[in-house]
Structure 1
């Protein structure tokens, strides 16, 4: 049976991202940019599942899906919602207008699994509808036939009930059943003056398992983890798969708060001492666990789950592979993080991001030979925010993709302005994150942006800087992307060389043009023999391979003199210039772009 899916979102990028994600599962994808357009498509096509954004002009997602519920009750309805929309979404769920909801940003694997579950639910509904029709048509036949059809209908109802309350992959209770049981246990604990523990468990770095071994191995790992978790609880307790690699654990009728910690530690120890074997692969699994206790950390389901999630976030922050009890200040921290995410999401549309440029100088002439584009956030409320305060949030939320594309486009535009101003030999380095590099057909995206800007890639105006972590991840795909960029004439540099997974093999395999010596080695270069030996080795390696060499973080004349004697080509750092706005960089170029470096004595 053909599975047809309708995506309704007024943001083209989000709709396109959902389509790319779900098309691989074999669905026929229809798209609409508004609720009105979505209703027109539904009138012309048989659609099994609808996924709609909540915030849209003219008609909100809840209004649209409520209308779909009235006109096409068999169609399964899913909404993508922000936290601010939770009340209206919850009301729609209670009225039956919405089957499920996801918050943005969504978890890809959880969304894929729930869409598959929604289609199974839709198909079972259709089968049930057909069975009802068959029963009505068979009233004139033998009563035995009627009994058999009724029994089959009852079986389908049982299947629908099972799908509604159990996770199809692990066969554990799902979030809906977990919440129902938690409500019951809270009521019982209130009546009997007992305690209840809620645990939120998450597999550490599960995405790396999927990326390294593939989703089938990831699914099998989740099944094994589910079985182990179930083995650590009593019959009166509940283990549930909440979403993706997140599990929930409900400990009923506990006598002391420390019991929950003892259970959590046993779970952690069991995985630490016994790796998971799947086929020929041995996978070491660790978990992070957050714990909240009724009635101390909340007296209702919402509060207990929220506080267990805050404790889980704290466990992740503490280095993973540990458990943490909820503490009151965690909610304040979570609120600050949510506020920061919200402000960052608005920063791009409000044009609050800016680029500063740190020049690179030739160590012999002292002249500017290039520069590095560095992202800054000029927040209306926070002022100028350093990248260390927000880059990690962009990475974790996926916002680094549109922001990274903005950085590349802006650097290209600025390069064109400088060329038009009479500076033809401009070279700008742009940093890339691992998430950007994993985008499908990333090379075409980069080359397309350059050519749209009127820049020929082979002229070396834009140079791409990658970390060693990017090079080591998915090396086959990485090599293909690098080759496409290299063949187009792009210059490629390894940033922070020596601090990651340094390997001579990737210097041989990948088309790299230059190495940037990390500032951690430069800082104590004049006084630390070990740092001097490391820098000398990197310079010798780079020179033997014909690679350019740039020292980062040069702040003193002693560092400069040592690097010059060691044969390093270029430097950047506060001794020459801090990162400056484009206008200041223009002034520096107009005034010769040189630094009065001390001569070698």
Structure 2
């Protein structure tokens, strides 16, 4: 009978399967329960055995990959779906195949036979218990990826200039630093291992915005971006890649140079940017001229963080602007260290007063006629826990800027008056020493100096004539209103007023007759011209004439004169001959602690080798 083979007699038909005598004891295997859903599913799927070979695939997968499903059977699934190109995905996929991992989901970029690429989300999961192999499903997510890419581009780019924005810039900067670090660890020589940055802002941009409006301001920013991009492209010619140009916000831009070859490369780039921006801009019928200030940083990438690099660039940009704008400035570690120290001192100045970190040294004021100690000048020192003993020129300017000079000045005044009174009580048979205290002009404006002095003298018991207050010539000259009233009130109280560094400021002699000044302290620059004993010192006869004239004028006005920076006996002798009243300098003593001042009392001809050497 046709349709059957010899020796096999058909018996019955059931569910489309022919049952013969020969197969009565081994019925045909039924299809898996998922087969109908598998075949008709709109989702591309395949069954993969434990070896990674495709056992079966549906039509949707064949269409997705550009072929027939039957042609997929027996092929290696990982090759078709690019699962072996990175070790992490490949390891996870193998774990799913052998049953050590229940599921894997990843996104891969696949190449279609017609040439276009597509993004696919691949899911690999174990089949139900009793079924061998794994189920692989593939979803085309190209449209979603494209939408995400467009959204990311909008999120990562500036709408005005279309340049990468701050977020994308920091991503690229962080990636560049990490890449350089990995190359260094692997001893790869493909790059230089260095990184460079030009950080700039547009000088005068705010004026453009304020006078011509934000629309013109935005046009200017877009035009600046075009010129920066052109500079970057020109700098990238013949190199591995052009610098990344980004707008960081406002009128701030950055050019990031990966694998920089040194400061010369960054300097050339900065110069080209300056020249490009100096050319006038023609915008909305307006001809605008602007310039730029650029901070340049170039360094080894290893050990550099994105934050550290940007801080250095920001600091250097500030230097470029403060140095005059329309220039580029290279980061200077020494200058930065000084700035950081200054900031550290400024932030700890006020607490240091409360912690008692300041001390006073005293420098003798010696009578030129008798060589005896008449008084002392109180000089403050900061015993800083980190930077050691600091002279006043390291922190007084900071104290004047932030106003802490007021409480610091009160402490100096009280400490010096208390010490002068102590010397007086310890030496009842000796003429008392006066103490000279420096006063900043801000103390006169920001505090009630007269009340502070009166209270201090009352508390310490020091007589007013034993206190001398020194103000700089520039602070005293031109005094009017409250400062002048304060000086007159202090003079009426009996306190002596001295002008410090006389001869270097305004030198408006008319004020000497109006102000309640008792002492002129000649600036040391004049006294240095008296060093006839040292040919290398280039003595100036003109200095001697000027000093002599000032001393005579002071005496005619009833003032006494103190010469600062007296260092040699020859200077002292000449000053004494032309009538100088008091001398101060290393010839007599350097500033010393209060206990060493006692050794000078009553000693005629005080010399530096007595107690002046530290």
| Distance of aligned partners of 1:307 and 1:363 in 2 relative to their CA distance in 1, 3 Å threshold | same
Structure 2 SS opposite 1:358 = strand
Separation in 1 of the partners of 2:473 and 2:292?
A: 27
Structure 2 portions without partners, runs of 5+: 1-163, 177-194, 226-248, 258-265, 281-290, 533-538, 608-614
User: How is 1:310-321 mapped onto 2 (pairs within 5 angstroms)?
Assistant: 310-312=315-317, 314-315=319-320
What residue is the counterpart of 2:253 in the other structure? 251
Q: 1:291 aligns with which of 292, 295, 304?
A: 295
Separation in 1 of the partners of 2:358 and 2:564?
A: 24
| Distance of aligned partners of 1:197 and 1:562 in 2 relative to their CA distance in 1, 3 Å threshold | same
| Distance of aligned partners of 1:501 and 1:185 in 2 relative to their CA distance in 1, 3 Å threshold | farther
In the TM superposition, residue 490 of structure 1 has moved relative to its aligned partner by 1.9
CA contact (8 A) 1:462 1:490 kept: yes
**Alignment RMSD:** 4.7
CA contact (8 A) 1:189 1:253 kept: no
| Distance of aligned partners of 1:414 and 1:226 in 2 relative to their CA distance in 1, 3 Å threshold | farther
Query: Which one has the bigger helix percentage?
Result: 1
Separation in 2 of the partners of 1:359 and 1:553?
A: 12
In the TM superposition, residue 568 of structure 1 has moved relative to its aligned partner by 0.9
Separation in 1 of the partners of 2:333 and 2:322?
A: 16
Structure 2 SS opposite 1:360 = strand
| Pair 1:435-2:439 in alignment | no
What residue is the counterpart of 1:541 in the other structure? 553
Separation in 2 of the partners of 1:557 and 1:195?
A: 57
Separation in 2 of the partners of 1:349 and 1:429?
A: 24
Separation in 2 of the partners of 1:296 and 1:475?
A: 56
Deviations, residues 432-483 of structure 1 (Å, cap 9, x unaligned): 2233333143333333333333335xx3121110111212466444323222
| Distance of aligned partners of 1:299 and 1:442 in 2 relative to their CA distance in 1, 3 Å threshold | same
Structure 2 SS opposite 1:546 = coil
User: How is 1:25-40 mapped onto 2 (pairs within 5 angstroms)?
Assistant: none
In the TM superposition, residue 507 of structure 1 has moved relative to its aligned partner by 1.7
What residue is the counterpart of 1:235 in the other structure? 221
CA contact (8 A) 1:199 1:248 kept: no
CA contact (8 A) 2:373 2:606 kept: no
| Distance of aligned partners of 1:408 and 1:228 in 2 relative to their CA distance in 1, 3 Å threshold | farther
Separation in 1 of the partners of 2:310 and 2:481?
A: 41
Equivalenced residue count is: 373
Q: 1:568 aligns with which of 562, 566, 580?
A: 580
| Pair 1:449-2:456 in alignment | yes
| Distance of aligned partners of 1:264 and 1:430 in 2 relative to their CA distance in 1, 3 Å threshold | farther
- Choose 329-338 or 495-504, whichever is displaced more: 329-338
Separation in 1 of the partners of 2:209 and 2:465?
A: 50
User: How is 1:86-485 mapped onto 2 (pairs within 5 angstroms)?
Assistant: 183-184=166-167, 186=169, 198-199=199-200, 234-236=220-222, 249-251=251-253, 291=295, 302-303=307-308, 306-312=311-317, 314-315=319-320, 324-327=329-332, 331-341=336-346, 344-421=349-426, 422=428, 423=430, 425-456=432-463, 459-472=464-477, 475-485=480-490
What residue is the counterpart of 1:131 in the other structure? none
CA contact (8 A) 1:183 1:300 kept: no
User: How is 1:69-84 mapped onto 2 (pairs within 5 angstroms)?
Assistant: none
Separation in 1 of the partners of 2:272 and 2:213?
A: 14
- The alignment's TM-score, normalised by the length of structure 1, stands at 0.52
Structure 2 SS opposite 1:450 = helix
CA contact (8 A) 2:467 2:495 kept: yes
- The alignment's TM-score, normalised by the length of structure 2, stands at 0.51
Structure 1 SS opposite 2:220 = coil
CA contact (8 A) 1:289 1:311 kept: no
In the TM superposition, residue 341 of structure 1 has moved relative to its aligned partner by 4.1
Structure 2 SS opposite 1:414 = helix
Deviations, residues 330-363 of structure 1 (Å, cap 9, x unaligned): 5544444444445655533332211111111111
Structure 1 portions without partners, runs of 5+: 1-180, 204-221, 239-246, 271-286
In the TM superposition, residue 532 of structure 1 has moved relative to its aligned partner by 0.8
Separation in 1 of the partners of 2:309 and 2:498?
A: 48
Separation in 2 of the partners of 1:482 and 1:202?
A: 45
Deviations, residues 105-136 of structure 1 (Å, cap 9, x unaligned): xxxxxxxxxxxxxxxxxxxxxxxxxxxxxxxx
Q: 2:604 aligns with which of 590, 594, 598?
A: 594
Which structure has the bigger radius of gyration? 2
Separation in 1 of the partners of 2:467 and 2:209?
A: 46
CA contact (8 A) 1:464 1:493 kept: yes
Separation in 2 of the partners of 1:289 and 1:441?
A: 44
Deviations, residues 389-415 of structure 1 (Å, cap 9, x unaligned): 443443444433322221111011112
What residue is the counterpart of 1:528 in the other structure? 540
Q: 2:501 aligns with which of 492, 496, 500?
A: 496
